[in-house]
Amino acid sequence: MNNKIEKIQVFGSGCPSCKKLFELTKQVVGELEITTEVEYVTDLQKIMKLGVMTLPILAINDQVVSAGVIPKPEKLKKLISDYQPKNSNTTPKSGCSCGLGCCC
């Protein structure tokens, strides 16, 4: 399993969709046997610092990996298990409309 994951956060307003992503993320993290705790962040200032205004947001190690959707459990597992830190040479996937490189 990927041991590069130090922090997993779900950013949201407290709405049902954001809470659902938080609960689903905790479930998937448990299934993947990752020991990192999932944090739920509702602080508007922290959300604004991400530069992404579509909630809910999933971030790993302060890197946004999903925004504006609740991925299906299998997609969420893939996002987490395939996580690779971005470096300065990383460019978004082609066809990505959000600029994050995480669109399906």
Q: Which residues of 4-31 are buried (b: 16+ CB within 10 A; e: fewer)?
A: ebeebbbbbeeeeebeebbebbeebbee
CATH code, 77: 3.40.30.10
The confidence score (pLDDT) of residue 86 equals 78
Residue 33, domain member (yes or no)? yes
Work out how many domains the chain is built from and give that number: 1
Residue 98: its pLDDT value, please? 52
pLDDT digits (tens, 9 = 90+) for 75-98: 999 999 999 887 644 444 444 445
| Residue 27: half-sphere exposure toward Cβ, Cα within 13 Å | 11
- Domain around 41: 8-81
Q: Give the pLDDT confidence of 31-78 residue by residue, as tens digits.
A: 999 999 999 999 999 999 999 989 999 999 999 999 999 999 999 999
